[in-house]
Amino acid sequence: MPTITRIEVYKFNIPLQAPVTIAIGTIEEARNILVKIHTSDGVYGVGEGAPFWMIVGETQASAYAVSYDFAKLLIGKNPLDLEGCIASLDRYLAGNPTAKSAFDMALYDLAAKYAQMPLYQLLGGSKRSIVTDETIYIATPEAMAADAVKIKERGAEAIKVKLGTNAKDDIRRIAAIREAIGHEIPIRTDANQGWDYVSALTVLNTIADWNVEYCEQPVKHWDYKHLARLRQQARVPICADESLFSPQDAIKLITAEAVDYFNIKLSKSGGLRNAVKINAIAEAAGIKCMIGCMSESRLGISANAHFASALQNVVFYDLDSPFEHAHNPILGGVYYQNHYEVILPDAHGHGADVDADFLQRMESFVVEA
Ligand code: MG
Let me know whether 239 and 287 are in one domain: yes
Q: Is the dihedral of CA 114, 119, 121, 125 positive or negative?
A: positive
Known catalytic residue at 265: yes
Let me know whether 102 and 194 are in one domain: no
161: exposed, middle or buried (Cβ count in 10 Å: 0-12, 13-18, 19+): buried
Average pLDDT over residues 79-98: 98
Q: Which of 104, 213, 216, 320 is catalytic?
A: 216
Let me know whether 51 and 200 are in one domain: no
Let me know whether 13 and 154 are in one domain: no
Let me know whether 206 and 238 are in one domain: yes
Known catalytic residue at 242: no
Q: Which of 162, 223, 296, 320 is catalytic?
A: 162
Maximum distance among all Cα pairs of the chain, rounded to whole angstroms: 62
Question: For the chain, how many structural domains are there in total?
Answer: 2
Please determine, for residue 23, whether its predicted confidence score (pLDDT) is greater than 90. no
| 219 three-class SS | coil
77: exposed, middle or buried (Cβ count in 10 Å: 0-12, 13-18, 19+): middle
Let me know whether 109 and 127 are in one domain: no
Let me know whether 177 and 306 are in one domain: yes
**pLDDT tens column, 141-175:** 999 999 999 999 999 999 999 999 999 999 999 99
The residue segments making up the domain with residue 328 are 122-352
Q: Which of 100, 265, 268, 288 is catalytic?
A: 265
Residues 170, 176, 179, 180, Cα dihedral to 10°: -130
* Alpha helix segments (H runs only) across the chain: 53-56, 60-74, 82-92, 97-115, 119-122, 141-153, 167-181, 197-207, 224-233, 247-255, 266-269, 272-284, 298-310, 356-360
Contact 320, 265 (CB under 8 A): no
Let me know whether 191 and 219 are in one domain: yes
What CATH number is attached to the domain comprising 8? Answer: 3.30.390.10
The span from the CA of 120 to the CA of 369, in Å, is 31
Cβ contacts of 168 within 8 Å, gap of 6 or more: none
Known catalytic residue at 357: no
Rounded percentage of the chain residues whose pLDDT exceeds 70 = 100
Let me know whether 250 and 155 are in one domain: yes
For residue 130, the CA-to-ligand 1 centroid distance in Å is 19
Let me know whether 314 and 240 are in one domain: yes
Known catalytic residue at 162: yes
Let me know whether 167 and 311 are in one domain: yes
**pLDDT tens column, 166-184:** 999 999 999 999 999 999 9
**pLDDT tens column, 210-259:** 999 999 999 999 999 999 999 999 999 999 999 999 999 999 999 999 99
Going by pLDDT thresholds of 50, 70 and 90, the confidence category of residue 198 is very high
Let me know whether 180 and 33 are in one domain: no
Known catalytic residue at 252: no
Measured at the CA of 29, the angle between CA 25 and CA 35, to 5 degrees, comes to 115
For residue 32, the model assigns a pLDDT of 97
What CATH number is attached to the domain comprising 218? Answer: 3.20.20.120
